[in-house]
């Protein structure tokens, strides 16, 4: 395998509050390789978006970040603000959950793409950048791109705004795209269209992509590898087949049992009992223990470490090597 484009080692992200430190991402370690799509999935509040914002250094002032994050060997967490601004939107670009709040409402969409281009390369004329903005809108499937480039974000539909955000993100040919819940609040048909655009753009440009979503169905046809997060920690990492068909983690199994299948073979869905824990006062040991069907005394004693269970496949569970037997007993 080629050298990693992005390496994240023992990343921790916490928020200082009056009540104490809210640990939103804990001991996060992973890599992203050139051209691959890495999906990060989990329930809302698991730490997916917080991790992405920490990589981009877009966190609020009360954030405490430790660990090591390197992009092509460059230390993202310790580079100067000027270096980070040059990297952000150029080498690494982000597609945000809500384009209506991410885009400037008083500037035309085309002008915003022009600014994105010229802030990183002032040698490009306004006319050249405008022509490229129209080409980008066409590339992502915005109809009548010449006319649409002169319109404002509120004149776009939700799906078109998301397409415009994608156009803005790829304006400088980034090597890494971070797509944070890119289909949230869109209907199913538009979700599929936006994902198709993302997949086509990623394939055409050769960029790597970190796809953040709570929807496992979205990643099945898009990702090369999947990371499952729960209560600030990575619980399982593997290929699509390993996660969907060979899971070695109780949380991933429960997550998969809670979603419908296209074949209609499931007699009933199995909701995960209880609620995610407080990140201010998490339970002892494994954070999933209070909701886990396989919890034992060992699960309360200590936080489980990540265990390698196969090539590219890791799971964080104290009973990982017992699960195959345990699943057979409880099924």
- Residues 277-311 have pLDDT tens digits of 999 999 999 999 999 999 999 999 999 999 999 99
Q: Compare 250 and 216 and report the one with higher pLDDT.
A: 250
Decide if pLDDT at 196 tops 90: no
At which of 195, 223, 251 does a domain end? 223
Are residues 179 and 242 part of one domain? no
Q: What is the pLDDT of residues 118-164, one digit of tens each?
A: 999 999 999 999 999 999 999 888 999 999 999 999 999 988 999 99
pTM of this prediction exceeds 0.85: yes
Decide if pLDDT at 86 tops 70: yes
Are residues 237 and 178 part of one domain? no
At which of 223, 239, 266 does a domain end? 223
Is residue 1, in this structure, part of any structural domain at all? Answer: no
Q: Find tokens 């916490």 and name the residue.
A: 14
Are residues 233 and 326 part of one domain? yes
Query: In the chain, pLDDT over 90 holds for what percent of residues?
Result: 76
Is residue 119, in this structure, part of any structural domain at all? Answer: yes
Are residues 173 and 129 part of one domain? yes
Please report the pLDDT score of residue 186 as a whole number: 78
Are residues 154 and 67 part of one domain? yes
At which of 223, 243, 264 does a domain end? 223
Are residues 209 and 132 part of one domain? yes
Mean pLDDT score, 209-221? 88
Please report the pLDDT score of residue 215 as a whole number: 82
Indicate which CATH number applies to the domain containing 85.
Answer: 3.40.50.300
Are residues 282 and 178 part of one domain? no
Q: Which of 260, 235, 231, 261 shows the shortest CA–CA distance to 248?
A: 235
Please report the pLDDT score of residue 331 as a whole number: 44
Is residue 191, in this structure, part of any structural domain at all? Answer: yes
Please report the pLDDT score of residue 258 as a whole number: 85
Please list, residue by residue across 280-313, b when 16 or more beta carbons sit within 10 angstroms of its beta carbon and e when fewer do: eebeebbbbbbbbebbeeebeeeebebeebeeeb
Is residue 75, in this structure, part of any structural domain at all? Answer: yes
d(CA 92, CA 84): 10
Tally of structural domains, the chain: 2
Are residues 234 and 194 part of one domain? no
Residue 271 burial (CB count, 10 A): 9
Q: Compare 320 and 313 and report the one with higher pLDDT.
A: 313
Q: Which of 312, 278, 238 shows the shortest CA–CA distance to 40?
A: 238
Residue 295: give the domain boundaries: 229-330
Decide if pLDDT at 182 tops 90: no
Average pLDDT of the chain is: 91
Q: How confident is the model at residue 198 (pLDDT cuts 50, 70, 90)?
A: confident
Are residues 129 and 21 part of one domain? yes
Are residues 142 and 17 part of one domain? yes
Measured on CA atoms in the order 63, 176, 307, 326, is the torsion positive or negative?
positive
Are residues 212 and 235 part of one domain? no
Q: Please, which residues have CB within 8 angstroms of residue 134's CB and are 6 or more apart in sequence? A: 110, 145, 146, 149
Query: In the chain, pLDDT over 70 holds for what percent of residues?
Result: 96
Q: How confident is the model at residue 183 (pLDDT cuts 50, 70, 90)?
A: confident
Q: What is the pLDDT of residues 8-67, one digit of tens each?
A: 999 999 999 999 999 999 999 999 999 999 999 999 899 999 999 999 999 999 999 999
Mean pLDDT score, 176-193? 85
CA distances from 141 to 148, 159, 165, 222, 245 (A): 11, 10, 12, 19, 34
Please report the pLDDT score of residue 329 as a whole number: 47
Are residues 252 and 217 part of one domain? no
d(CA 120, CA 178): 18
């Amino acid at each position: 395998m080629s050298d990693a484009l992005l390496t994240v080692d023992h990343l921790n992200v916490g928020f200082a509050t009056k009540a104490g430190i809210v640990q939103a991402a804990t001991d996060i370690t992973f890599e992203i390789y050139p051209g691959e799509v890495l999906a990060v999935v989990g329930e809302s509040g698991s730490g997916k978006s917080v991790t992405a914002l920490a990589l981009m250094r877009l966190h609020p002032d009360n954030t405490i970040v430790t660990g090591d994050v390197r992009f092509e060997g460059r230390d993202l967490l310790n580079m100067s603000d000027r270096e980070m601004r040059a990297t952000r939107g150029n080498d690494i670009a982000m597609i945000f959950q809500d384009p209506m709040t991410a885009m400037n409402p008083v500037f035309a969409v085309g002008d915003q793409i022009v600014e994105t281009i010229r802030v990183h390369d002032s040698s490009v004329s306004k006319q050249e950048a405008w022509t490229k903005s129209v080409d980008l809108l066409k590339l992502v499937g915005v109809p009548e791109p010449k006319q649409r480039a002169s319109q404002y974000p509120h004149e776009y539909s939700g799906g078109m705004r998301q397409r415009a955000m994608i156009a803005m993100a790829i304006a400088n040919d980034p090597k890494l795209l971070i797509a944070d819940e890119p289909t949230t609040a869109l209907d199913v048909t538009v979700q599929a269209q936006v994902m198709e655009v993302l997949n086509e753009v990623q394939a055409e440009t050769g960029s790597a992509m970190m796809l953040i979503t709570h929807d496992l169905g979205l990643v099945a046809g898009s990702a090369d590898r999947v990371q499952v997060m729960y209560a600030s920690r990575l619980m399982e990492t593997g290929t699509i087949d390993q996660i969907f068909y060979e899971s070695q983690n109780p949380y991933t199994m429960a997550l998969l049992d809670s979603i419908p299948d296209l074949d209609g073979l499931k007699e009933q869905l199995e909701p995960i009992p209880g609620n995610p824990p407080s990140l201010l006062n998490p339970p002892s040991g494994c954070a999933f223990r209070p909701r886990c069907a396989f919890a034992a005394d060992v699960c309360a004693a200590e936080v489980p470490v990540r265990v390698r269970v196969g090539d590219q496949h890791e799971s964080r569970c104290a009973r990982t090597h017992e699960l195959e037997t345990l699943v057979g007993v409880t099924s």
